[in-house]
Amino acid sequence: MNRIVRLFFHSMAVGFLAGCLPSPMQSSVGPVPTVQSVVPQPAFRPTPPVAVQNPWKPDAAPRNWRHIVLHHTASSAGSVESIHEAHIARGWDGIGYHFLIGNGNGMGDGEIQSTYRWREQVHGAHAKSPNNEYNEHGIGICLIGNFEETTPSDAQMASVKRLVGVLKYEYQLTDAQVVAHRDVKATACPGKNFPIGEISRSSVFPVLAGQFGTYFTEQPTAFQIVTVERSNLR
């Protein structure tokens, strides 16, 4: 039985890498299939280049990031597309954040999407301050939800802590450089129930985070980031 379970997870991984859904576990009666009859033995393939494995990795040279700023949408639902539309309507040049984390309404619960601002390493439009320090040098992460009224879901907490942990490691940021929007502007964002302290202390094991992006693909079914490209927005 252990062997079948292992095969199942192996086929999930192969299916993910091939860009298709995994096959359901076989339930037919009969002899336990051998490795050869269930999964064709692939020829040895070297690991593809990181750029292919990590489509969310920035295309541009890294910006001089000095902060991570956390936000909420103050709404019960949202997606990259809906927030992009709302920010365009305000006269901005598109969605102001670099990352969004869904709550199951408009995006998957705990799903992370990066935006073109991240891909292109351009400044944010999410945390205005007198010298614009936090828009110029702050990575904007927004969680869907209103945390004046509720708390982030368990899946959102797991995702935001992993994302913040990787970004801190990658840009050598301290706990103090991870801030809530309210820390830099007179606003309630991201809500009184948002656990900024717990999130700012997030860290990941350095070996896992050592190569930007590969950390995510080691557990593709558990943690995946999709980039919504500028061309897919109106």
CB neighbour list of residue 221: distance below 8 Å, 6 or more residues apart = 12, 13, 16
Helix (H, G, I), strand (E, B) or coil at 225: strand
Selected range binding Zn ion among 85-93, 129-137, 169-177, 188-196, rule: CB under 5 A: 188-196
The answer to whether 109 and 103 are in contact (CB under 8 A) is yes
How many residues in the shown chain lie near Zn ion by CB under 5 A? 3
Please say which residue, 141 or 166, places its beta carbon nearer to Zn ion: 141
Please say which residue, 34 or 129, places its beta carbon nearer to Zn ion: 129
Q: Determine the Cα–Cα distance for residues 21 and 65; give it in Å rounded to an integer.
A: 36
Please say which residue, 71 or 98, places its beta carbon nearer to Zn ion: 71
Q: How far is the CB of 140 from Zn ion (least distance, A)?
A: 8
| Strand locations in the chain (E) | 67-72, 99-101, 112-115, 138-143, 178-180, 225-228
Please say which residue, 70 or 112, places its beta carbon nearer to Zn ion: 70
Q: How far is the CB of 127 from Zn ion (least distance, A)?
A: 7
Per CB under 5 A, does 71 bind Zn ion?
yes
Q: How far is the CB of 95 from Zn ion (least distance, A)?
A: 13
Q: Determine the Cα–Cα distance for residues 234 and 230; give it in Å rounded to an integer.
A: 8
Q: Determine the Cα–Cα distance for residues 198 and 72; give it in Å rounded to an integer.
A: 16
Q: Determine the Cα–Cα distance for residues 189 and 204; give it in Å rounded to an integer.
A: 26
Please say which residue, 177 or 217, places its beta carbon nearer to Zn ion: 177
CB neighbour list of residue 52: distance below 8 Å, 6 or more residues apart = none
Q: Determine the Cα–Cα distance for residues 8 and 46; give it in Å rounded to an integer.
A: 22
Helix (H, G, I), strand (E, B) or coil at 99: strand
Please say which residue, 85 or 183, places its beta carbon nearer to Zn ion: 183
The radius of gyration of the chain from alpha carbons, rounded to an integer in Å, stands at 20
Selected range binding Zn ion among 60-68, 71-79, 116-124, 218-226, rule: CB under 5 A: 71-79
Per CB under 5 A, does 167 bind Zn ion?
no
Q: How far is the CB of 139 from Zn ion (least distance, A)?
A: 13
Please say which residue, 142 or 157, places its beta carbon nearer to Zn ion: 142
Per CB under 5 A, does 181 bind Zn ion?
yes
Q: By CB under 5 A, what part of segment 94-153 binds Zn ion?
A: none
Selected range binding Zn ion among 112-120, 189-197, 204-212, 225-233, rule: CB under 5 A: 189-197
Which spans of this chain sit near Zn ion (rule: CB under 5 A)? 71, 181, 189
